[in-house]
Amino acid sequence: MRVTSFRFDPNGNKTLRLFLFLGMFLISFSLQAKVSLVATTTDIKYIAEQIAGDKADVSGLIRGFDDPHFVMTRPDFLVRLNQADILCMVGLDLEVGWVPYIQQQSRNIKIQKGQPGYCDTSVQVKILGEPTVMMDRSMGDMHIYGNPHYWNDPINAIQMADNIRSALNRVDPLNHSYYDDNFASFKKRIISLTKEELKKMEPYFGLKVAVFHDQFVYLASRFKFTANLTIEERPGVPPSVRYMDQVVSYMIAEKIKIILLGPYHNPKYAEYVSSKVPGSIVLVMPVSVGGTPEATTYEETLKIMLQKIRDASDRTKSN
């Protein structure tokens, strides 16, 4: 019987190891190719999806009808932040009651403040309502850095998109051209939308509305109506009957017949005021993507809110 002998080839062994190494590298690269981006709100999530496209896995922490001021955190929040390459948040202390804790507990250095994966979408946004006096907790849930509801101005949404693009470019520079192109497309789309909606709003410039919470000031500023009268006596604190009656008197005197509130606010206070102002209407606004079932995109959310205001104005004029 003939026995075939095998000879050890050291060079062949090196070649095999090289192929194995390259194979493992390619598998690892393919598994980690996508950026993991976590957004605190649905608006940021939507905008991030427009910029990141298929180069990132984008997820949001809360729903559109959740109050971003007050959020009950869940264990999966920590898991997602632990694995995130980027954390995008509204900032201006809007999420101060819940995000800093889970951000710290995630044990992910990449998304801590000052790191490449930290994205505050308020950077370079022109903030309204910055306080001019010293504030304390007796004044309610005040925002010391100004009004944080800036995303309802579509021009601010462009700046938010730019901040998200910068974060993506920091952590994934190889795809910067892709992100830049997506940003340019989003910006063009939003500018066109803003022009269209401004034209529709022209007959309603100067319209006065009341609000439950001071969250429509950016929408009002961009589309030239007034939303300065709040039913909420102090932010985050239920209003007294005495204060609401003052609001009623002011609405009657100024002929204000529209009240706006978010989907997560208790409507009973707005309904009380409306019941005492003849012909007035309470409008529940989406405020954010997913705030109401039909508000499926940022653009649709904006159009729905403005159309609600126009329709309500037409109805109250005919009363």
Average the pLDDT over each of 122-131, 173-182, 255-264 and give the range with the smallest value. Answer: 122-131
For the cut 90, the answer to whether the pLDDT of residue 110 exceeds it is yes
The whole model's pTM is what?
A: 0.87
pLDDT at position 11 is 56
Residue 99 exposure: Cα atoms within 13 Å on the Cβ side: 25
Check whether residue 58 and residue 128 sit in a common domain: yes
Check whether residue 209 and residue 293 sit in a common domain: yes
Average pLDDT over residues 256-283: 97
Q: Which of 168, 193, 218 is the last residue of a domain?
A: 193
User: Is position 45 within any domain?
Assistant: yes
Check whether residue 164 and residue 221 sit in a common domain: no
For the cut 60, the answer to whether the pLDDT of residue 3 exceeds it is no
Residue pair 251/272 in contact (Cβ under 8 Å)? The answer is: no
Check whether residue 155 and residue 270 sit in a common domain: no
Domain that holds residue 143: 34-193
For the cut 70, the answer to whether the pLDDT of residue 189 exceeds it is yes
The total number of structural domains in the chain stands at 2
Q: Tell me the pairing of strands 56-60 and 35-39.
A: parallel
CATH assignment of the domain containing 306: 3.40.50.1980
Please report where in the chains the tokens 């090289």 appear, as a residue.
18
Q: Tell me the pairing of strands 208-211 and 258-261.
A: parallel
Check whether residue 235 and residue 151 sit in a common domain: no
Average pLDDT over residues 210-229: 97
For the cut 50, the answer to whether the pLDDT of residue 137 exceeds it is no
Q: 54-76, pLDDT tens digit by residue?
A: 999 999 999 999 999 999 999 99
Check whether residue 181 and residue 235 sit in a common domain: no
Check whether residue 269 and residue 309 sit in a common domain: yes
Check whether residue 125 and residue 243 sit in a common domain: no
pLDDT at position 310 is 98
pLDDT band per the 50, 70, 90 thresholds, residue 14: low
pLDDT at position 144 is 84
pLDDT at position 6 is 44
Residue 303's contacts (CB-CB under 8 Å, 6 or more residues apart) are: 193, 197
Average the pLDDT over each of 79-83, 130-134, 204-208 and give the range with the smallest value. Answer: 130-134
Average pLDDT over residues 128-153: 74
pLDDT band per the 50, 70, 90 thresholds, residue 102: very high
Check whether residue 155 and residue 278 sit in a common domain: no
Distance in angstroms (rounded) separating the CA atoms of residues 240 and 253:
20
Give me the chain's average pLDDT, please: 90
pLDDT at position 130 is 76
Q: Tell me the pairing of strands 86-89 and 281-284.
A: unpaired
Check whether residue 153 and residue 292 sit in a common domain: no
Distance in angstroms (rounded) separating the CA atoms of residues 167 and 165:
5
Distance in angstroms (rounded) separating the CA atoms of residues 44 and 60:
8
pLDDT band per the 50, 70, 90 thresholds, residue 35: very high
Check whether residue 91 and residue 228 sit in a common domain: no
Average pLDDT over residues 117-125: 98
Tokens representing 195 are: 């022009």
pLDDT band per the 50, 70, 90 thresholds, residue 159: very high
- What size, in residues, is the chain? 319
Three-state SS sequence of the chain: CCCCCCCCCHHHHHHHHHHHHHHHHHHHHHHCCCEEEEECCHHHHHHHHHHHHHHEEEEECCCCCCCCCCCCCCHHHHHHHHCCCEEEECCCCCCCCCHHHHHHHCCCHHHCCCCCCEEECCCCCCCCCCCCCCCCHHHCCCCCCCCCCHHHCHHHHHHHHHHHHHHHHHHCHHHHHHHHHHHHHHHHHHHHHHHHHHHHHHHHCCCEEEECCCCCHHHHHHHCCEEEEECCCECCECCCHHHHHHHHHHHHHHCCCEEEECCCCCCHHHHHHHHCCCCCEEEECCCCCCCCCCCCCHHHHHHHHHHHHHHHHHHHHHC
Output 180 or 1, whichever has higher pLDDT. Answer: 180
Starting at the earlier edge strand, list the strands of the sheet with 226-230.
Answer: 226-230, 208-211, 258-261, 281-284
Check whether residue 287 and residue 200 sit in a common domain: yes
pLDDT at position 23 is 47
pLDDT at position 235 is 86
Tokens representing 267 are: 């409507």
For the cut 70, the answer to whether the pLDDT of residue 269 exceeds it is yes
Average pLDDT over residues 269-286: 98
For a pLDDT cut of 70, what percent of the chain falls above it?
85
For the cut 70, the answer to whether the pLDDT of residue 132 exceeds it is no
